[in-house]
Structure 1
Amino acid sequence: MQQRRTLFPRMDDLAQARPAVSHALMRDFLYRPQWVAENDEPLPPAYYDAVQAQSAALRQAPVDQYDEAAAARTRARARALSVVDRPARPVSLDQPLPPQEWGEAASPQARTHTLMGLKAQATHIRQALGLDAVRTLVQQVADDQRVLAPVREAFVALEPALLRMAMADPRFFGDDHHPARRLIEGVAQRSFRYNDEYAEEFEQFMAPVRQAVRELNAEPEASAEAFATRLQAIESDWQRQDEADKQAHEPGLRSMHFAQERQALADKIAWEFSLRSDLEGVPGVVADFLFQDWSLVIAHAQLTDERGQLDPGGYLAVVSDLLWSVKREAALKQPARLFQVVPGLVQTLRRGLEMLGKEPEETATFFDALMRYHDPVLRLRRLRSARDAEALGFASLGDESGLMPLETEAAPLERPKPRAAEQPWLGRHELQAAGFHDEADSGPAPLTEHAAQQPGPMAAADTDLGVLTAPAALAAPDPSDQPFVPLDQPAEPQPVAQMPATAAESTEDIEARTRATLARLRVGDWVDLKVRGHWRRAQLQWTSDNGTLFMFISRGGRPHSMTQRTCEKLIRNRHLRPVDASAVVDKALRQLGDEARQTREAALA
């Protein structure tokens, strides 16, 4: 009996307009299905006397009016600030809301009168306690500053309908499948797509929400079906928007998926190349070309082939001729074969690279080297032809010293080995579709001359792609915002807002914190991303399997793709800020438990 009374409400507490029952009792009521069977009973006459007295006192209290002038000043101050620097606007059950948006529900006195009227109609403890649970949780949600203020105002304005729902189903807030709770959570989660309450697109989001709130408040008796109907209508509209966004970003997403699949197959092909017996003695630049570029060509051809060919394009067969042609001793023994092979070899190589989407300047270094390796044999052949012409009485072709064989670099001492690419290669069109490309770019960032000169067979894989946005949606570059420059085009140092650090925090600590922030990001998470001087709310849509490439999608299905290195740079500079979008109602319920635990600990102290 003592345990039962420990979590049993006092009647005077149940009669108050401001919830007075303990949070421990309220949480127990919501989460323990047997609470009603163990504790519920009819309300005594003293309860109704207390409700009547409380209502009379409230009627004598002054009525708060909405201050439009003060609200206008608040809007002006907020709009002058960046969206990430605006202080969260407080929302409370006790403050008036804009009457033009919420009608009668805008008045805190009107909402409280609805509460007290329902308390007067309650017949059992479960109903009175359910009303207090609604008011408490609505205030908890209104205090959640992660949610934009107009959305929290909508939840406050919805209180009358929620109170009526509690009369029919007092414990509905404890049921995460109940339509009323799903409506609140659904609207809150959808609102995380926006970071500016004054933007036109946010107003488009709020208009149907306000309409649903007004309609539910107009219902004389709330029902789960009424909430479900409004939620379904709103979600249908959201689904249409999502389909349009999906169509906008789907090409970029397909490009990233294909690039990752192609890179994985290319890495496998490169490893198979490394096992070939004719790779011995091949110059490093040629081995690098096979491991990097040509393995991608073969992988691309195989993945896009629709006829089931064993070697689509003949790109695999040409490898034997390439490896033979760059071995000087072997080619000198068969110069006629080299003359016969080289034209078709070069033509096939260029055709494969063009099919892949590589620009000529990207592979110019390789073809220059290939020419150097072929030139000694070709020069000897030309020298022999010149001498044969002289023997037949033709004029001399000139200084023969120019026709003498040139020395080439020594063959590598160690057999070259590939290493898996750290990130998938993307061509110009793929970069554009994925949001890497910008009209101001001179070319794809990952394939720079600097990267081609780096040591190691797969050095180009280390190059940072930078972060750029889809060109159709971008304005001219803003010189005040320079985090989105490809690393092959270094920008002048800019003063940036670095990640806040404590006095004792070292550079290593900042780097570790940056990496940890990025490691916590999961597909579906929201971030605030600064793009050309403007803050966009974007969602992480895709990451590569090894976590080196990321694609974020902002409003309208606009892709923003970047490498791990660029992500970390943006996090350090506070240009990429993760957004906590965890469940709003769950957080409110957890706070009930936390406050109850703190109360118990304080009592025991």
Structure 2
Amino acid sequence: MSESELFQRHLDHMRAAAQPVAEQWLAACVRKLAEPVMDRAAAQPVLALIRSAHARWVGDLATRIRQGITAAQLKRRPAPAAARPAAPRSLSDLTLVDEDQAEREIEVSRVIQVVDLEAEWVLRELVGLASALQVAHGEPMGLAQYPAGPAVYARAFSEMAQAMQLPPVQRAALMRAACAGAAEVLKTAYTEAAQQIRSWGVEEARYQRSAAPGGSQEARLALGPSMQRLLSSPRLQAGGDDPSVALLARLFQEMLTDPRLNGPMRRVVARLQGTVQKTAQRDRSVLASQDHPVWQLIEQIASYAEEHGQPEDAAASDFMQFVEPLVDRLATGAAPGREAYAQALGELRGYVAQDEAAELARAADARRLLDQAEHEDALRPVLREQVQLSLRKVPQVGENLRLFLLGPWTDVMAHAVVHLGDGHAETQGMLSAVDELLSSLQPLQDAAQRQRRMRELPGLVARLQRGMQLVGMSKVRAEAMLDELMDAHRKLLLPAAAAGPAPAPAEPIAQAAPAGPDTDIQWDDDDAYLREQPADRWGHSDTNLGHLPTVPMGLDAEAAGAAVAQWVKGLREGQRCKIFLQGQWVTARLMWQSENGGFFMFSSPLEGGSHSLTRRALERLRAEGLVTDVAEPSLLQRAVDSLMQDL
């Protein structure tokens, strides 16, 4: 869409204000973190980090705010039809929302909620003024379409916090401080921006508040009486025209300024105005209920537009090619009857059903990957239990090796079973590697056993290396584990130790030199294996999540958790939800869920088109009120409500 020069000047002002906003916001965070009520153990490290590089973080936040405003502005402009994303080849290629991502969405939502609550009227004024700048360009704007809304600032702060690489407790403290400072800082920035627009002589347009999740059945049932009240209003009765024609003109005027409709879809609905007015003069039921096929047809068009985003994307372009001839057929000639609208609605729903089926087919590779991931998740506890049984038979095993077998190597075995099949020779080799590895670390009885073990080790280590490659383990971690095993085997296989007592489990070396590319083991030389020096140790790898503290759930929390789980369990494919993703509320449709309900795939108008969530992430968002059923007012209901306010 085109933009007015004044609107561009306004957004340039908001970008220029990003630096002082960032300075004031971080200053407010520092004050909040320094308060005695804050948990000092969590707050003090964050304070120290910000103070040690204050200018850096101010600049980082300001840059992210400017980039966010620009990105949101670009989304409002026409763009070439986007190419469909390539099929994912691995789980890492998917935009999978896990628990960590869900927590970040929750953080962003809390900042937005605080700003919406504390600065609501200032935002109403500013969005109304900004929308007035665009009236001449035919594009009404609500808060969701405003490129400098609270969501842009909240996402920018969340991204900066992510760049700080803080532990979860410290990040939570920072985001709590961000919530406390956001309302005051942004309220001031929005007030100054509104004053600037007013100084240009611009008058506020009517504020179009975006549809929030919710709505009521009572409002739906009251639509008929509301229509009758509007028809009998003095304003419509005073005119010389048929009140029904005048009312329909007002209803279409309201619908065509609704932010749910983008430009091309707005033109499609506008094309229907004349023919609906003709039909209403013959069929009085048009103004009696929103269940009339006329309104269902318009609502289906609006729903598709809302779910598929910009008309420039491939799906929306195909939809326009289908729906425009359909509407032209209705708009041509005499007033169509109820049956004609019902037929058009049936054709439109048929198109939508085919489009949804095609979208699901395009996601076949992603569904396969998620199915495999779910199968692996189900296998891990079983395989881990088998590893534990093997470990009990060999009590003297180093802690690093124990963690390796119960963690990464269990992942290797699950991956092999799912991707290669449990009967595959390579899978069998991965499964048997546990007992073979533990056996290889037992004391030797004689020289013959030493020679036999020397011959067996190269094949065992090759399997370990192959397994680590299968699950994408980093080279550093893989080499650390292999070096530790090499150290243990060296001590065991030296001729002097062949008949000696069992060696103590190898302990990690605190300051070991990292392995380089020239330290690869030459397995065709037995003595070379013994001469190699170990590099970095497995004990210096990622944190063991099993050691993190847990908090017992109270009775009320248990009941709430059960309700959340029940809601998720009741989801059905094709069901539409309102979900908070990427810092905004969107309408999403459940395309697919895995067999055991571990993964869910939604279609939405956001970038990428489809979004996969783990069950835990979905439950976490639901618990925070960030996933709801779709019960929002229809396009017609919103128009009627707006006219009722004018009575």
TM range (shorter): 0.3 to 0.5
Name the structure where helix makes up a greater proportion of residues.
Answer: 2
Q: Which protein, 1 or 2, shows the higher relative CO under an 8 Å CA cutoff with sep ≥ 6?
A: 2
What TM-score, normalized to structure 2? Answer: 0.44
* Bigger radius of gyration: 1
What TM-score, normalized to structure 1? Answer: 0.46
